[in-house]
Structure 1
Amino acid sequence: MTKKTLLIGDIGGTNARFALANPAHTSFEKVLNLKCADFSSADDAIHYYLDKFSMSKPDIICLAGAGPIISNRIQVTNNHWTLNIESLKKDFNAKKVKLLNDFEAAAYSIPHLREDDLQPLGLLNSTNLDNDHFNVAIIGAGTGFGTAGLACLENTLIPIVGEGGHIGFAPTSHIQTEILNVLKDNYERVIVERLVSGPGIENIYSSLSLIYENKKKELSAKEIFHKAQDKSDRYAIESVDIFFEILGQLAGDIALCMGARNGVYLAGGIAKRYPELLMKSKFRIAFESKGRQRSYMERIPTILVTHENPGLLGTAYCAFKLSSD
């Protein structure tokens, strides 16, 4: 029997990662990272990937994209690409095509992560997900901010998908309120993604300079984190502190909304790139600070996902399931 070709991809606002999934179990190989700006469409990027590895057209395509799935399409947020099930089937003569939200794919990866893919944030270790009942959430900040949940009921995995980055921002301190007031001058509605993302920390930094000096200063997200690391800029230090504090607040809010008693997993490029700053921050304090629900929150572990490509691992699982049906 000819081995099936299972093409998988994880497409965000800036980068697209493609790989081949194993049709026998949940794993992948031949990973290629591409810049979305270098290609006019997802189809062009896929053709480039297939040519790069001298592969024939895939039997199954499973792609995760940053954005909601509407009418079998994803218009990728912060990106010019559109993913379309019918177009992908036609263009590549694929037998099966599946689209996932990018954090839905990341959520599917959670049961397949190994112990060395995880780093506890706080005193609690991750809980054992080998049983047939659990409820977890995953969040992450990068180009944007994403959320998803995963419930297991009688060995059936059920993803909980939404657009958590578009939740309205609710400040919990005086300085957060002042930042919100500054951002209201630029945005009709201030969503959490305006603060907990790469562009978000740039908003925090410029807001602080206006609050303290009445003069707007701007740095890139990379510059802000680096200046916070070497303690060379007080606004950068405070921006990073506020960034991770808000991230902890959101993680706690999402845990409450989803009933994620078995853990909140933190993915996304920023947390993985700056784990030391995250560990020293008020993330866990903000996570637990939920008034009457504090004792409930103290029992929920928070875990940093250090796996290089959790989105690809989740799409590999879905492609494997498609090939098995």
Structure 2
Amino acid sequence: RVGGRLGAEQILSGSGLPRLARGVCLSMNLERSFETAADITQAAEANDVVATKTLETFARALGRVAGDFALSLLARGGVYLTGGVTPRIDRFLTDGHFRRSFEAKAPHQSLMAAIPTYIVRHSNPALEGLVAFAKSPDRFVVELKGRRWSREAAVSNATG
């Protein structure tokens, strides 16, 4: 608990996975010593029951939170899942549990079903986006007026 509560941010991250695994161990009355998210993903690949249950629970919780954000922002263009652990647990994100949790927003299930979700697998998506912007800035909704994109402007802004 942080500040007396257990929030989504304490479990929905790579560093939160070992916390979640400890809870799963307690609920199953089993013992494991997972120190890192990598320990858990590797154990799940070997079909360890605690690791598998941990990642299933993680995927459902992530679906709930992602669905809350998507609904509150009306993210009709989709929700993009990224981060260090995401591409490593894609089988848990694509087996249906994530999506069912994502869409379980009564009475808005049909709206949620229409919002796509994507797993970002690119190793450096921000760089890829910058390259795309540099090649075709007219494809992006970015106000360029008054912005200086030259090396001289960057140095001037940094020193002045």
- 1:323 corresponding residue in structure 2: 149
Q: 1:244 to 1:207 in 2, by over 3 A?
A: same
More strand, by proportion: 1
- 1:292 corresponding residue in structure 2: 107
CA separation in 1, counterparts of 2:12 and 2:112?
Answer: 21
- 1:230 corresponding residue in structure 2: 46
Question: Which string of whole-angstrom CA distances, capped at 9 and with x for unpartnered residues, describes residues 19-64 of structure 1?
Answer: xxxxxxxxxxxxxxxxxxxxxxxxxxxxxxxxxxxxxxxxxxxxxx
Q: Are the counterparts in 1 of residues 14 and 37 from structure 2 also a CA contact under 8 Å?
A: yes
Pick aligned residue for 2:6 from 172, 190, 214: 190
Cα shift at 1:262: 1.6
Unpaired runs of 5+ residues, structure 2, are 138-143, 154-160
2:64 is paired with a residue whose SS is helix
1:291 is paired with a residue whose SS is coil
Unpaired runs of 5+ residues, structure 1, are 1-183
Q: 1:314 to 1:196 in 2, by over 3 A?
A: same
Q: 1:302 to 1:255 in 2, by over 3 A?
A: same
- 1:210 corresponding residue in structure 2: 26
Q: 1:202 to 1:239 in 2, by over 3 A?
A: same
Q: Normalising by structure 1, what TM-score?
A: 0.39
Q: Are the counterparts in 1 of residues 41 and 88 from structure 2 also a CA contact under 8 Å?
A: no
Question: Which string of whole-angstrom CA distances, capped at 9 and with x for unpartnered residues, describes residues 229-259 of structure 1?
Answer: 221x211110000001111111111101111
Runs of 4+ in 1 over 3 A off after TM superposition: 313-318
1:265 is paired with a residue whose SS is strand
Pick aligned residue for 1:302 from 102, 117, 124: 117
Instruction: Within 5 Å, give how 1:63-78 maps onto structure 2.
Output: none
CA separation in 1, counterparts of 2:61 and 2:10?
Answer: 11
Instruction: Within 5 Å, give how 1:29-178 maps onto structure 2.
Output: none
Query: Does residue 244 of structure 1 match 2:59?
Result: yes
Cα shift at 1:189: 3.0
Q: Are the counterparts in 1 of residues 37 and 85 from structure 2 also a CA contact under 8 Å?
A: no
Identity of aligned residues (%): 33
Pick aligned residue for 1:255 from 54, 70, 75: 70
Q: Number of residues paired by the alignment?
A: 138
Cα shift at 1:311: 2.3
In structure 2, give the amino acid aligned to 1:282: H
CA separation in 2, counterparts of 1:241 and 1:274?
Answer: 9
CA separation in 1, counterparts of 2:49 and 2:112?
Answer: 31
Higher RCO (CA < 8 A, seq sep 6+): 1
Q: Are the counterparts in 2 of residues 244 and 281 from structure 1 also a CA contact under 8 Å?
A: no
CA separation in 2, counterparts of 1:206 and 1:274?
Answer: 18
1:199 is paired with a residue whose SS is coil
Q: 1:217 to 1:286 in 2, by over 3 A?
A: same
In structure 1, give the amino acid aligned to 2:66: A
RMSD: 2.5
CA separation in 2, counterparts of 1:299 and 1:242?
Answer: 24
Q: Normalising by structure 2, what TM-score?
A: 0.74
